[in-house]
Amino acid sequence: MISDEALRTLVGIIGNIICLFFFLSPVPTFVRIWKKGAVEDYSAMPYLATLFSCMIWTLYGLPVVHPGSILVLTISFLGVVIEIILLIIFLIFSDKKKRLKLLLLIFLELFVVALLATLSLTLFHTYKKRSLIVGVVGIFSSIIMYSSPLSIMKLVMSTKSVEFMPFSLSFGAFLNCLIWSTYALIRFDPFLLVPNGLGIVFGVAQLILYGVYYKSTKKIMKEKKGKEVILSDVIVLGSGMRLHMHLRPLSKFESKFVQVTMVSAEALRTLVGIIGNIICLFFYLSPVPTFVRIWKKGAVEDYSALPYLATLMSCMVWTLYGLPIVHPGSTLVFTISFLGVVIETILLIIFLIFSDKKKRLKLLLLLFLELFIIALLATLSLTLFHSYKKRSLIVGVVGVSFSIVMYFSPLSVMKLVISTKSVEFMPFSLSLAAFFNCLVWSTYALIRFDPFILVPNGLGVVFGVAQLILYGVYYKSTNKIMEERKDKEVILSDVMETSLHSFSSCPQYKKTRIKLLVVVVLELIFTFIFTFLVLNLVHTHAKRSLIVGIACVFINILMYSAPLTIMKMVIRTKSVEYMPFFLSVASVVNGSVWVAYSLIRFDIIILISCGLGLLLGLAQLTLYGLFYKSTKKIMEARKGKEVDLSKVVVVDEVLELQLFLIIFQISIMVSADAARTFVGILGNIIALIFFLSPMPTMIDIWRKGRVEHYSAIPYLATLLNCMLWGLYGLPMVQPGSLLVLTINGIGIVIESCFILIFFIFSDKKARLKVLVVLILELIFTSLLAFLALNLAHTHAKRSLIIGIVCVFFNILMYSSPLAIMKLVIKTKSVEYMPFFFSLATVVNSSVWIAYALIRFDPIIMIPNGLGLMFGLAQLIIYGLFYKSTKRIIAARKEKEVDLSKVVVCGVHEVEEKPNKPSTIAL
């Protein structure tokens, strides 16, 4: 919840930026005057009126008149400067009569402002009275300004054409007034609110006129082609909007300006849609502070999940609506709605974690109901209706319904605010974001009339305004209520942390965790081997799909039959304690959706496996209904007695099997390119962690101000490794290896930073040595790049030459842990071989082997295969000597032996302190 001062400042800055654009809008007019050397029939009255208004508002914004209005002062003063420059140009190119008249009016304005300033500052000695006097004059001048668009609006209605009322300027005027009205509302200022509120009314009226007469304008413009007229002078001022319009013949220079300001409906709609996407993203992210608070407190308190559920449902429906097969040309609706689905899902997961059982069950039921409705809607609309119009009508009506529900959902919160007189649970950022979001999407719907988007968002504008009014009314009382309740808060986070700690320390849990890790590694290896064999041995889509399909059916049958063990236990114990309800419901929903999918485009492979899943899911739900009540009695009777962990182990084994089967099923159903990209991204993330692993060492060096016994060799070796693989990943060497290039580019930057730190804190001798090695590495890499790119002229030859060099250096890198492994075997202690790095080596190598296998690349596979072997060897050694390490450390405790500094240099060198090298071979 941000402070009102910070929010007011932010809104004021946005208002300043928008206002500056309007102050500069007459520039094309004055460029023409300058070129022609005459003012022709132009009038100086709009600029004089704007200058007068700016001077009044500059006076109003002074700290001695109205403190805290610095942003009003800045933009108004800037307006004074800009208008004076424009009037000087007007004076230079006017005739004597006009010049004299203009000078008299300028002096009259200066006299009035000076008189107002003198009287307000000398006769009145309080801010309140001064701001009242100057504010009333400011309102009077602004109202005169705002009445100026009435003549243009009259012209639009009489001609039935919006040719002389550019949409961008009308919308800009409306937006500017809205911003300054918001600024005035945050810390109530009636002198800013009244004129800008009037500006909003005129802005809305202009936008409605634009929507009504936009289509008829094209016909009229075709009929009177060659008789072009332009609306030339539009001036808008700081804290209030001042529009002045004047008709004159169109010049060649300004015809291009009109083409920019009167953009096509499609281009404008796209622009508004992009703005809507940005605002909508902020709207979706606005509850983040709420969820940070939930996370910290470890409880959802009085927060309701209904707004997020409603938003999720609305986003899913609008994602469906935005699909090209439902409503073509709504890409921007689709993108932001899909993003909303992702964000709302994450927020609801957090809500689920910190809710009590009752709320959690209710939330899960509503979630599954939403998924079922959206699946049903998609199936019906796409199969029963075969035209865009009908599909968009059906989905649009549902979208309107759920959007109305979404915008009605804050009513419960508004009721809570009124009853408690506190806005604690109605975040201001969310209300403001909702208001702006609805406003922009209403505009989007008006440009190319779309009632399905317009109706719910128009309603959202109304509710947004209502929430902002409530916030203004009850904001102050909230602080008092929160202070009174401050001492009565209960923090449950420590209890949860203790519970989790005690659970994680359970031996049975540790055993299960290791088991699960082994299963995941095995399933990854199995999946990659299967993928490699299918893609390389089978060369037609039909055969590939048949083989993979049969495998999927087999795995699915195993997966769906896995719960049979749990179902047997449920029948035997008459308890559903170990058969989660949400898992059974998910099986039914998943099975139903995929059965529907397979029936639409008849696919026997999906139908068989998912049909079986649907039947078993229904069987589980039936069992749940039969034994739910008896479960409570059994649990109460057993309360206080030790829980038999054997059942948990059975469930864990079943869940492990299900996890293996599900991951395998998903893995083999994706395309090779998609799988390779995913694996490459995963490899990038793991490699990045490796590159950053020496950070503690570097922090230690930085704090101590010296490198001590640390060696720079591992970082220099890693830098060379990264430079070579970066060269290998270039498009002119090995096309399609962008992910190899990106991670090695990052590695070069990180290792360069480490070497720079090493260089700074080394002595002269070590510094010279590092510098020489670094120069040699750069020369070697440059020479290799030059020779490969100039002597070899095919991708195959270039990648082969550079690849062989990379393999050679990687083999050296991966053989470096042999010295440590020798030390472990000799001392029977894994003290100097961290488990994390050994495990990470295995994971990193496995991922890059998979990357190399999907689209066969022996250059990447050979060194990483070797790395995997060394990593597995380290893990085996770790398992053998882990227990003996504790005994050795305990026996040595009284006889301190400082073996802490072990540095492995190259392949064989062992020194005093372990240097955790960041050497990652790809």
Please write down the HEC assignment for all residues of 570-591: HHHHCCCCCCCHHHHHHHHHHH
Query: What residues contact 623, with CB distance under 8 A and at least 6 apart?
Result: 567, 570, 571, 576, 579
Which amino acid belongs to residue 858?
P
pLDDT at 640: 54
Percent above pLDDT 70 for the chain: 74
Q: Which residue did the predictor score with more confidence, 257 or 390?
A: 390
**Of the candidates 165, 28, 164, 15, the residue with the CA atom closest to the CA atom of residue 79:** 15
Cα three-residue angle 754-900-886, rounded to 5 degrees: 125
Q: Among 246-255, 420-429, 767-776, 835-844, whose mean pLDDT is lowest?
A: 246-255
Q: How many whole angstroms separate alpha carbon 184 and alpha carbon 178?
A: 10
The mean pLDDT of 358-378, rounded to a whole number, is 85
pLDDT at 499: 43
The residue assigned the tokens 């890693």 is 718
The residue assigned the tokens 């490969």 is 788
pLDDT at 487: 58
Q: Which residue did the predictor score with more confidence, 522 or 132?
A: 132
Q: Which residue did the predictor score with more confidence, 584 or 503?
A: 584
- Whether residue 806 has pLDDT greater than 50: yes
- Whether residue 113 has pLDDT greater than 80: yes
Q: Which residue did the predictor score with more confidence, 362 or 904?
A: 362
Q: How many whole angstroms separate alpha carbon 584 and alpha carbon 617?
A: 5
Q: Which residue did the predictor score with more confidence, 520 or 17?
A: 17
pLDDT at 682: 75
Using CA atoms, how far residue 555 sits from 67, 541, 596, 659, in Å, is 72, 21, 20, 11
Element (H, E) at 909: strand 909-910
pLDDT averaged over every residue in the chain = 74
| CA atoms within 13 A of residue 412's CA, in its CB half-sphere | 10
User: Is the CB of residue 360 less than 8 Å from the CB of residue 368?
Assistant: no
pLDDT at 93: 86
Q: Among 154-158, 348-352, 783-787, 905-909, whose mean pLDDT is lowest?
A: 905-909
pLDDT band at residue 902 using 50, 70 and 90 as cut-offs: very low
Predicted structure pTM score: 0.32
- Whether residue 701 has pLDDT greater than 80: yes
pLDDT band at residue 623 using 50, 70 and 90 as cut-offs: confident
Greatest mean pLDDT among 204-213, 429-438, 751-760: 751-760
- Whether residue 545 has pLDDT greater than 70: yes
Q: In 10 A of CB 391, how many CB atoms?
A: 21
**Cα 253 versus chain centre, distance:** 42
The mean pLDDT of 161-172, rounded to a whole number, is 68
Query: What residues contact 911, with CB distance under 8 A and at least 6 apart?
Result: 709, 711, 901, 902, 903, 904, 905
Which amino acid belongs to residue 862?
I
pLDDT band at residue 49 using 50, 70 and 90 as cut-offs: confident
Q: Which residue did the predictor score with more confidence, 2 or 839?
A: 839
The mean pLDDT of 503-511, rounded to a whole number, is 49
Q: Among 315-329, 495-509, 741-755, whose mean pLDDT is lowest?
A: 495-509
pLDDT band at residue 269 using 50, 70 and 90 as cut-offs: low
What's phi and psi for 618, nearest 5 deg? -65, -35
Element (H, E) at 425: none
DSSP 147: T
pLDDT band at residue 471 using 50, 70 and 90 as cut-offs: confident
The mean pLDDT of 809-820, rounded to a whole number, is 70
pLDDT band at residue 168 using 50, 70 and 90 as cut-offs: low
Q: How many whole angstroms separate alpha carbon 707 and alpha carbon 693?
A: 17
pLDDT band at residue 890 using 50, 70 and 90 as cut-offs: confident
Element (H, E) at 905: strand 904-905
pLDDT at 247: 37
What's phi and psi for 509, nearest 5 deg? -65, -40
- Whether residue 723 has pLDDT greater than 80: yes
Residues in a beta bridge with 231 = 247
pLDDT band at residue 31 using 50, 70 and 90 as cut-offs: confident
pLDDT band at residue 427 using 50, 70 and 90 as cut-offs: confident
User: Tell me: the pLDDT tens digits for 66-81?
Assistant: 887 788 888 888 888 8
- Whether residue 508 has pLDDT greater than 60: no
Q: In 10 A of CB 906, how many CB atoms?
A: 14
Query: What residues contact 320, with CB distance under 8 A and at least 6 apart?
Result: 326, 374, 377, 378, 381, 395
pLDDT at 238: 38
The mean pLDDT of 426-435, rounded to a whole number, is 73
Q: How many whole angstroms separate alpha carbon 534 and alpha carbon 528?
A: 10
Q: Which residue did the predictor score with more confidence, 482 or 651?
A: 482
- Whether residue 665 has pLDDT greater than 70: no
User: Tell me: the pLDDT tens digits for 836-879?
Assistant: 667 777 777 777 777 777 767 787 878 888 878 887 888 788 77
- Whether residue 414 has pLDDT greater than 70: yes
- Whether residue 148 has pLDDT greater than 70: no
The mean pLDDT of 739-754, rounded to a whole number, is 85
Q: Which residue did the predictor score with more confidence, 272 or 225?
A: 272
